[in-house]
Structure 1
């Protein structure tokens, strides 16, 4: 097997986040589900954008955020995702390449425009996300770079992108390429509503032994396994997923691998500013340790530290020197 060119290659939504502070009363006025993620069409996206206050545009997308964290730590990464030939598409491509991530997916010339996520952040740091998926839903399987997938230690897949037909087919093709090359496949469940729609697919991937590393939060674990007993949920996946990583918000995180179990508390923080991207950056920290064969507990600590940095400011991309932060905390 040739030496891997990348630590992690990811397939995900290519999205630009548009973030603005918002009072709770405004959330109610707009009929939004506080703290959740809702898919919106073009008309609703335009309505919500008009209702936002002063906003910041930051390239995002769950898997792309994870790669940004990995790259900040020094990992070699590549991203596969679809943008349109428009201004936000240029913003996304510039931002991801600027942090050292290879991104070679050809732009889409036709409508719809590049995806964007309109995020309302309330004073309690909860983020209410309204996502217009746009061009990201049209990632053709034939554009998949199978050689790049085979050249990465880990293929990382974003559950959010499983809904549309074209990228779902692209991800299935990528799984085949990764498995044929003897690489690992990591999957993040993304959100409960994704499991509600595609849980049977995800359970089939697990039963068929196609997922090596599964990321979930405790709500997603419950939705996937059908039990609200946390330990029973962990047990339900025992032996089916080689590495299971479950985050529990302020209660920390648990990982199970090869009969070993590790737990870490959440990192202490003075003030939570914005929880956007906490799970994405947790995955980044964990995977950074994983590709370096670090102990399971160290991988979890890295995840917790990365998540703590991201919730200390607006946006889902690191602002501090993540490597220095991590080195200082891990000693």
Structure 2
């Protein structure tokens, strides 16, 4: 599928993303899963990691930097090379072993995920110089889940805020929020006060409306309209164009984030950013994992 055209005035802005860079093992089930025996399937290996996915999809739209951690191993080398080939300005630390996520995709395209973040949780420094020139810093909530990465990214968000850099957080998954503790994550959001929180309907319902007086919440709901909740209590609904032959929801949220953030950082218009996010997300729904090239 053809790449999205670069946004006008894109060269004047820089999007920064930090988060996981891992290998996805995507299993497309051809029949319902049966415990204790075989189930027919197709298996794909694709680059993954929520943060890296956002950076890869955004790089064709605006200049994009990524910082994360992978192992000093062949999978890490391959993932870094693939991300750089997509046009991302990649910087990684090396520690431990490169992470892997196994994804079971049922016949409706819904995912069940088995994450082993490994090195992605070991990021122990985001240099101040890496923040230089950023217009927006995007952080998936997975980064707050544990290991040195959690404290490192919190520090980077606070430094970004002090510099006047916009901050976006993605709620990532209900599983992650439950493991972290919903009340604890609400408190973290209140402390960090991001400018934008991206969430799907289930994540938004789990977190509730109270995040921060300065945070705009963008709630995705699959084929239903995306709803943008503004800090003043008002909201805007943006319809989602239909997509035929949806096979795999993996990466759709990351692709939406990439399109949304790239548009927003250039135009500063929430409605057109949602439209761009929907167009970006639609590109991955027929392909395995966070890819756009088909099975």
Q: TM-score range by the shorter chain?
A: 0.7 to 0.9
> 2: distance between equivalents of 1:85 and 1:274?
31
Instruction: State the 1:116 CA deviation.
Output: 0.8
Instruction: State the 1:6 CA deviation.
Output: 5.6
> 2: distance between equivalents of 1:207 and 1:128?
29
Query: What whole-Å deviation, never above 9, does each CA across 1:12-56 have from its counterpart, x for those lacking one?
Result: 111111113213433x4269xxxxxxxxxxxxxxxxxx9995532
> 1: distance between equivalents of 2:236 and 2:261?
15
1:12-161 matches, cutoff 5 A = 12-26=19-33, 28-29=34-35, 54-73=42-61, 75-108=62-95, 111=96, 113-140=97-124, 143-161=125-143
Task: Indicate conservation of the 8 Å contact 2:22/2:100, yes or no.
Answer: yes
Instruction: State the 1:119 CA deviation.
Output: 1.7
1:241-320 matches, cutoff 5 A = 241-257=214-230, 259=232, 261-319=235-293
Corresponding residue number in structure 2 for 1:203 = 186
Structure 2 counterpart SS, 1:267: coil
Structure 1 residues 127 and 317, CA gap change in structure 2 (3 angstroms) = same
Instruction: State the 1:211 CA deviation.
Output: 0.9
Bigger fraction of residues in helix: 1
Corresponding residue number in structure 1 for 2:200 = 217
Bigger fraction of residues in strand: 2
Please list every run of 5 or more consecutive structure 2 residues that lacks an aligned counterpart in the other structure. 1-10
Corresponding residue number in structure 1 for 2:3 = none
Query: What whole-Å deviation, never above 9, does each CA across 1:259-306 have from its counterpart, x for those lacking one?
Result: 453212222112101110111111111111111124321111111111
Structure 1 counterpart SS, 2:52: helix
Corresponding residue number in structure 2 for 1:36 = none
Structure 2 counterpart SS, 1:152: coil
Does 125-134 or 52-61 show the bigger shift? 52-61
Structure 1 residues 53 and 88, CA gap change in structure 2 (3 angstroms) = farther
TM-score (norm: length of structure 1): 0.78
Query: What whole-Å deviation, never above 9, does each CA across 1:106-158 have from its counterpart, x for those lacking one?
Result: 322xx4x2101112222222222211111112111xx3122212421111111
> 2: distance between equivalents of 1:156 and 1:79?
10
Please list every run of 5 or more consecutive structure 1 residues that lacks an aligned counterpart in the other structure. 32-49, 226-232, 321-331
For these two proteins, the number of residue pairs brought into alignment is 282
> 2: distance between equivalents of 1:76 and 1:169?
26
Instruction: State the 1:91 CA deviation.
Output: 1.4
Cα RMSD of the aligned pairs, angstroms, is: 2.4
Task: Indicate conservation of the 8 Å contact 1:264/1:301, yes or no.
Answer: yes
